[in-house]
Amino acid sequence: MRDDFKPSVKRTIALRVGYHCSNPTCGAKTTGPQIDPAKAINIGVAAHITAASPGGPRYRPTASEAARTSPENGLWLCQNCAKLIDNDVARFPEVLLRHWKQIAELRTLQQLGRQSPFDRTDAPALEIPSSGSCRLTAPLTEPLSAESIRRLCALLPREARDVEQVELLGSGCGAMDQRYAIIGAGINHGWDWTIGLFTAGEFGWELVASIRLENQKAWVPEAVYVPGTPGALVVTHVHGWGTGMFRRSTSWYRIVKGEPSPLLSYPHDFYVVGWGMAFGRRLKSAALHMPLHLTNGAPLELRFDVDYTMEDSGACEESEKNLFSLTETLSLEWNDTASVFVPRTPSDDFARIEEIWVEGTERFVEHNSERLRHLGQHGTPRQRSFVSVHCSQ
């Protein structure tokens, strides 16, 4: 006898991850159209985390029938990954699969109503050239001179070669003492940049990956390489700007030859004022702990400081516009098996940070009701007036 999922439970498991495979290194979409316009195809499976019958993968004899057939015991996967986890149980234990489920559901929640943070129209795309196609065999001076840096720029994609500004953004030794350099090449008076990650090996210097950044408003991008096997390239760049808003983001990419792999993206700093709302907000982030290497359990701890202002208060001085400030912290750690950062607790969710960027007046009041209630009673006359006029529920 098997304790199988009911069709309604399978649908719930699939919907909670948007019908994408929950394996964080796959993420394949599992539904789509058939040629027949009245039909759709599904290549997804509601897999049991702990088996549906004795002798199955990860079977737990103490679990009840209700527990084995509940959505909490289900993981939505493509057919390939479903077969993989059941054929190699030692590699895919229960604790890892529950991590996958948590990560997949958190990511789906973050993406509701908005583009993926790594959509080509949103965050920059990472490009990885074919092996050996961009290599400089002639020796370079150590440490890298201005002339050596310019010679490396010749390996960048063609549109970045007529550079006006060159910056060495980082250099050092990565995994197995392999030398690396991160170079930024700016054109159009610093509005467009190409970032190149280069490594030195037995046959000379090679371009490993590049990212093209457009409309950077003359901001020089920041970049860091985190060593590992493979490592990660971390780029801070202008992500959007316009009337009343400006944003820079930090985007992480795992460097795999032939397979660019985005990891995560989050706001580095931003401000939003206007947009028909009486309040404004400004955010700045800080890395409390950056991993020295991408090894299992390496922590990534971030702090986000947010200042809310009264833009409709009539105040002229910035200090008179202050409403209140808050701090959010997020803690993640690197999981070697899944090759992703996983949240340390369910509350370590980037969705609540992104909500600050997009929230309107109603959500602002809902999220900060206790602070606003306190200011309405104990704040300055200007703050009490602002809360009374704009924040009453």
Could you report the per-residue pLDDT of 331-387, keeping only the tens digit for each?
A: 988 877 667 787 777 677 777 788 888 888 888 898 899 999 999 999 999 999 999
Out of 105-114, 211-220, 240-249, 266-275, pick the least confident. 105-114
Confidence of residue 111 (pLDDT cuts 50, 70, 90): low
Share of the chain above pLDDT 90, in %: 48
What confidence score (pLDDT) does residue 55 get? Answer: 92
Q: Residue 24: left if φ>0, alpha if ψ -120 to 50, beta else—which one?
A: alpha
Classify strands 245-254 and 261-272 as parallel, antiparallel or unpaired.
antiparallel
Name which residue leads in pLDDT, 336 or 277: 277
What confidence score (pLDDT) does residue 80 get? Answer: 93
Q: Does 275 have pLDDT greater than 80? A: no
What confidence score (pLDDT) does residue 133 get? Answer: 64
Q: Which residue has the tokens 């910035």?
A: 318
* 244 CA to centre of own chain: 25
What confidence score (pLDDT) does residue 115 get? Answer: 43
What confidence score (pLDDT) does residue 278 get? Answer: 87
Q: Does 118 have pLDDT greater than 70? A: no
pTM for this predicted structure: 0.70
* 49 CA to centre of own chain: 26
Q: Does 123 have pLDDT greater than 80? A: no
Mean pLDDT, rounded, for 245-272:
84
For CA atoms 316, 319, 323, 325, give the dihedral sign. positive
Tokens found for residue 102:
């948590």
What confidence score (pLDDT) does residue 28 get? Answer: 86
What confidence score (pLDDT) does residue 121 get? Answer: 37
Q: Does 320 have pLDDT greater than 90? A: no
Could you report the per-residue pLDDT of 56-96, keeping only the tens digit for each?
A: 999 999 999 999 999 999 999 999 999 999 999 988 899 88
Q: Does 161 have pLDDT greater than 90? A: no
Could you report the per-residue pLDDT of 197-219, keeping only the tens digit for each?
A: 998 887 788 898 999 999 999 89
Q: Output the CA–CA distances (angstroms, integers) from residue 169 to 184, 189, 233, 247, in the order listed.
A: 7, 18, 12, 21
Name which residue leads in pLDDT, 122 or 343: 343
Q: Does 117 have pLDDT greater than 90? A: no
Q: Does 51 have pLDDT greater than 70? A: yes
What confidence score (pLDDT) does residue 116 get? Answer: 41
Q: Does 49 have pLDDT greater than 90? A: yes
